[in-house]
């Protein structure tokens, strides 16, 4: 799979997935810190390069699955921001056994109808646990 990506460091793999208006550079500080102890991989989502029908959640989720598969990544940790969090959630739902950790930062998807459709009370971590 040919896509622009950053692959830095050695050790257990952490995959960073950027948001809709994000870029690889958004993760610069995170990459520099985490790559001291981990292998950090950041693919560039092909949001503007693909057919509009493939720029959907399902199309971009397929991209993430294919990227992970093409890199033969196993037992990964995923950090997803905004749309990247939504894609990470989708990946975990379909491939739980390949994921050690899921970290969401400002994730879209938690309040979408496909994930439950209601809003949590402040501090209600059970809400997130039920949906994830």
Which tokens is 23 given?
């870029």
pLDDT in tens, 64-121: 999 999 999 999 999 999 899 999 999 999 888 999 999 988 777 555 555 445 555 5
- For the question of whether the overall pTM of this predicted structure is more than 0.85, the answer is no
Residue 122 has pLDDT above 90, yes or no: no
| Number of Cβ within a 10 Å radius of residue 93 | 13
122 or 9, which is more confident: 9
What pLDDT was estimated at residue 51?
82
pLDDT in tens, 38-58: 999 999 998 888 788 778 888
Cβ pair 6, 24 in contact under 8 A: yes
Please give the C-alpha separations between residue 77 and each of 45, 81, 124, in angstroms, as whole numbers: 18, 13, 24
What pLDDT was estimated at residue 99?
95
Cβ pair 89, 65 in contact under 8 A: no
């Amino acid at each position: 799979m040919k896509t622009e990506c950053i692959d830095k460091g050695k050790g257990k793999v952490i995959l960073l997935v950027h948001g809709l208006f994000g870029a690889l550079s958004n993760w610069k500080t995170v990459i520099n810190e985490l790559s001291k102890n981990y292998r950090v991989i950041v693919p560039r989502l092909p949001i503007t390069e693909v057919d509009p029908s493939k720029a959907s959640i399902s199309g971009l989720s397929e991209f993430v699955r294919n990227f992970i598969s093409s890199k033969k990544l196993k037992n990964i940790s995923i950090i997803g921001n905004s749309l990247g969090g939504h894609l990470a959630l989708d990946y975990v739902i379909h491939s739980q056994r390949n994921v050690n950790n899921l970290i969401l930062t400002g994730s879209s998807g938690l309040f979408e109808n496909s994930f439950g459709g209601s809003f949590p009370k402040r501090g209600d971590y059970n809400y997130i646990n039920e949906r994830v």
